[in-house]
Every structure is written in structure tokens, then in C-alpha cells.
């Protein structure tokens, strides 16, 4: 199998809704693992997902998933499952009937469809409610039945648009654990979410979108490292923060140092975190300081999001 057959590839993809921009000039290669799409409302996350699944067609460029073009649903959806944000269902069905029916549309016979739907319902912990009408489900249950439907045919690529919406904290944790397990099994998981700390916790890489453009992509920490306009902020808890402050001011890469309110720590802003850590190690090794903790305070997705997209960018 060639390398491109294991990737999701966007090649110069643009999508316009008439005069309105959906996404523009997207070039992406997504490898197995969990990839999160992050951005404010209207950034283009759902457009990107719908393009990936052929629910939308690109105005320009091309998309392929594991070597399959998106205009061939009969091949694509043998390998892809998509849990959309559309909170609607065919009328009058129970959860089990809903999953069974579309497995049979895939081409599975009734017996195999029954087996697969049972497994899917079990995975999302919805077996107890499987024979109730979907119309009577709570929002969280509807979210889970959609997830079950997306994973029931055992796809290799799983695309999930806001899959944690409406789930209570316990189920959220279980669902995130399920995503991690699926990713560990070698699946591609493409997830969009507004909840940055959860995205940060589970993602191997993020794609930040704003106004239809990709603002940044890759591992969160690497993206953060590349943001030279925003020096890294680090909090050092130690016994002599004043002494440390005097020491760090001699370093050219340190742009700011400020004492913590309780005077038991020091905030440092540096343009080169690696050099700062080396320097700190040296200081500790020479016995000049007793350091309790060292923690970067803006080396996470929330900080990256704030810097690149801004505080007004949606509900994040």
C-alpha cells in the first residue's frame, strides 16, 4: 500500500457557497491518529468534514481518503464513518432499528447487521435503550446513537463533528477513552470540538481554522514553539524567585520576568524555551536554587487558540 493510501489528502481545496467562503486553499495531509479541527463558529470545520465525506463538493481542488476520491460513496463509506452534527433521524425507529437499517443499506445481511449493531450499541453503552424509539432519547443518547451508527460498520476513518456535545461528564470521559482506543487501533479520527482542554487532552495533532483558512496545524506543542511572536510563559516555583529573576535577566532570550503574587514563584517569558530549561537545569545543578515545579502556562491549545484566533473567536 502506498503512503498516500494511508492518508487523508486535501489538495488546494476551496469551497464557496455562492459568494460566501466556506474554506479556502486548504492543503492538508492527515495521518492515522486523532486529529482535531478547532476554530470558532463559522471557521469552516463542518465544511471541511462535509467535504471529506462528499456531502459537499469542492469548488476547486481535490480530496481523497486513503486513496479514494470523495465522489465515490460506494467505496468511500466502506472505510469511512461520519457522525454529523445534524440532530435528526428517520421517523419512527428504535435505536437498534436505525443502526440495523443503514447497515443493511451498506449491504450487510440481516444477521451480520444485527451482530454489528449490537457491538456498536455496546461500545457506546446504549444497549439498555436500544429498543426504545430514538424520538424519546435525550440529547446525549441521540449523540451516542449517531456515534454508534458511524462506527457500526467498523470504519478505518472516523469523522466526528462535535461528538462530545450533550454528553454528561461521565459519558464524555468514556467516549474520549473510546476515541483513544480506536486511534490506538490505527484508525484515523477527525474530531471537531469547541472544548479546547478536551481536544488538547486527546489529540495527536490539531488543525486550527479561522474564517475558512487553516491558521496552523500539527502537534500543539510544536505549533506553540513556532509562534515566535508570542514568547513562551513559564512559571517556576522555587525558594528564591528574586535570585532567579536576577539570573534570568542576564539571558538574551528572556523578555520578561515577574514575581508571583505569593512571592514563591516567578513568571518568565522566553523566546527560547529549550535554552531557558538548560539554564534552569544548570542553576539547580549548581545548588543555587531549590525548584519545586516548572510549568509552561501557555503551552497548550487554549493559549495557541488565543494567540492565533483571539479571545473573540467563538465559544472556546
Partner 1 sequence: MSAAVEAVPHKSNDWGLWFRQIRSIFRLEIEKNFLGRRSILIYMIALLPLFPLVIFALVTPPGREWQDINFYHQFYANMYNGLIMRTVVFFGSAWIFMNLFRGEIVDRSLHYYFLSAVKREVLVVGKYISGLVTSIILFTVTTVIAMLLLYFPHVYSQSVRFFTEGRGLLHLLAYVGITMLACLGYGAFFLVVGLFVRNPIIPAILLYGWEWLNFLLPPLLKKISVIHYLNSLLPVPIYEGPFAVVAEPTPAYIGIPSMLGVTLLVLILAAYRIRHMEIHYGSD
Q: Where on the chain is the footprint of partner 1 (CB under 8 A)?
A: 17, 50, 53-57, 71, 73-79, 81-82, 84, 86, 88-93, 101-102, 104-109, 112, 116, 149, 153-156
CB 300 within 8 A of CB 230: no
| Residue spans of alpha helices (H) in 68-138 | 73-79, 95-106, 110-123
**CB nearer to partner 1: pick between 113 and 232:** 113
Strands of the 254-259 sheet, one edge to the other: 254-259, 265-270, 232-238, 291-296
Return the residue matching grid coordinates 444477521.
111
Neighbours of 41 (CB within 10 A): 11
CB closer to partner 1 out of 123 and 153? 153
CB of 306 to partner 1, least distance (A): 29
Q: Which is nearer to partner 1, 70 or 220 (CB)?
A: 70
CB of 187 to partner 1, least distance (A): 9
Instruction: Give the residue with the Cβ less far from partner 1, 76 or 266.
Output: 76
181 neighbors 43 (Cβ within 8 angstroms): no
Q: How far apart, in whole angstroms, are the C-alpha atoms of residue 288 and residue 114?
A: 68
* Spatial distance between the Cα atoms of 280 and 244, rounded to a whole number of angstroms: 9
Residue with Cβ nearer partner 1 (156 or 294): 156
Nearer to partner 1, 27 or 75 (CB): 75
CB of 179 to partner 1, least distance (A): 17
Residue 112 CB, nearest approach to partner 1 (Å): 6
Tell the smallest beta-carbon distance from residue 101 to partner 1 (Å): 5
Q: Is there a contact between 93 and 102 (Cβ–Cβ < 8 Å)?
A: no
- In the complex with partner 1, the residue whose CB is nearer, 108 or 276, is 108
Closest CA to 188 of 15, 67, 27: 67
**CA dihedral (295, 297, 302, 307) positive or negative:** negative
Gap between the Cα atoms of 309 and 287, Å rounded: 42
- CB of residue 131 vs partner 1: minimum separation in angstroms? 15
Question: In residues, how long is the chain?
Answer: 316
CB of 176 to partner 1, least distance (A): 22
Give 141 or 304: the residue with its C-beta nearer to partner 1: 141
- C-alpha cell recorded at residue 53: 465525506
Q: What is the DSSP letter of 93?
A: -
Beta carbon of residue 312, minimum distance to partner 1 (angstroms, whole number): 23
Give φ, ψ of 254 to 5 degrees: -85, 125
Amino acid at each position: 500500500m502506498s503512503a498516500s493510501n494511508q492518508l487523508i489528502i486535501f489538495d488546494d481545496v476551496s469551497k464557496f457557497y455562492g459568494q460566501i467562503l466556506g474554506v479556502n486553499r486548504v492543503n492538508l495531509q492527515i495521518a492515522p491518529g486523532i486529529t482535531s479541527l478547532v476554530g470558532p463558529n463559522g471557521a469552516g470545520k463542518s465544511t471541511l468534514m462535509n467535504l471529506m465525506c462528499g456531502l459537499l463538493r469542492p469548488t476547486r481542488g481535490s480530496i481523497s481518503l486513503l486513496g479514494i476520491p470523495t465522489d465515490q460513496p460506494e467505496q468511500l463509506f466502506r472505510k469511512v464513518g461520519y457522525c454529523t452534527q445534524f440532530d435528526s433521524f428517520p421517523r419512527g425507529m428504535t435505536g437498534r432499528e436505525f443502526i440495523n437499517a443503514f447497515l443493511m443499506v451498506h449491504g450487510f445481511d440481516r444477521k451480520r447487521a444485527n451482530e454489528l449493531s449490537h457491538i456498536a450499541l455496546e461500545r457506546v453503552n446504549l444497549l439498555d435503550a436500544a429498543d426504545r424509539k430514538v424520538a424519546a432519547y435525550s440529547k446525549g443518547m441521540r449523540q451516542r446513537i449517531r456515534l454508534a451508527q458511524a462506527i457500526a460498520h467498523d470504519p478505518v476513518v472516523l469523522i466526528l463533528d462535535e461528538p462530545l456535545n450533550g454528553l454528561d461528564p461521565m459519558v464524555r470521559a468514556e467516549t474520549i477513552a473510546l476515541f483513544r482506543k480506536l486511534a490506538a487501533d490505527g484508525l484515523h479520527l477527525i474530531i471537531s470540538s469547541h472544548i479546547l482542554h478536551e481536544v488538547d487532552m486527546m489529540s495527536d495533532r490539531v488543525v486550527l481554522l479561522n474564517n475558512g483558512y487553516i491558521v496552523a496545524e500539527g502537534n500543539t506543542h510544536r505549533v506553540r514553539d513556532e509562534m515566535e511572536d508570542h514568547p513562551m510563559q513559564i512559571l517556576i516555583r522555587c525558594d528564591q524567585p528574586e535570585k532567579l529573576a536576577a539570573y534570568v535577566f542576564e539571558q538574551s532570550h528572556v523578555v520578561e520576568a515577574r514575581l508571583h503574587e505569593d512571592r514563591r514563584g516567578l513568571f518568565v517569558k522566553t523566546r527560547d524555551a529549550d535554552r531557558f530549561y538548560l539554564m534552569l537545569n544548570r542553576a539547580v545543578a549548581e545548588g543555587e536554587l531549590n525548584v519545586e515545579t516548572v510549568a509552561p502556562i501557555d503551552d497548550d491549545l487554549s493559549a495557541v487558540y488565543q494567540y492565533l484566533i483571539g479571545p473573540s473567536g467563538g465559544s472556546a
